[in-house]
Amino acid sequence: MFRLALLILWPSFLVAILAEGFFFSLFDPADLMLVGGHVDMPPIAAYTMGFFFFWCFCAIASMISIYLIRTEAPNQPPF
């Protein structure tokens, strides 16, 4: 179970670092809007929340990939 968690969390962590770097190099945290209003928080909090959002999103994508790799369609040969 620990190995499975590492297979999901480590690649998603690395991709989240890249995604946050690209996102916040294009957008300033002070200019972000949420449902029509500006987000009133320090920039470090926006960076932290953005990182965890990207990490969760990438972890979900990794979990789906692991699930699809480990399950086979019935009556079809594997790739």
More confident residue, 37 or 56: 56
Least confident of 20-24, 47-51, 69-73: 69-73
User: Residue 35: inside a domain, yes or no?
Assistant: yes
**Residues 11-23: what's their mean pLDDT?**
95
User: How many domains does the chain divide into?
Assistant: 1
User: Residue 34: inside a domain, yes or no?
Assistant: yes
- The Cα–Cα gap between 26 and 61 comes to 23
Read off the DSSP letter of residue 36: T
SS3 for 36-59, per residue?
A: CEECCCCHHHHHHHHHHHHHHHHH
- Residue 63's domain comprises 13-70
- Nearest of 8, 19, 76 to residue 51 by alpha carbon: 19
- The model's pTM is 0.78
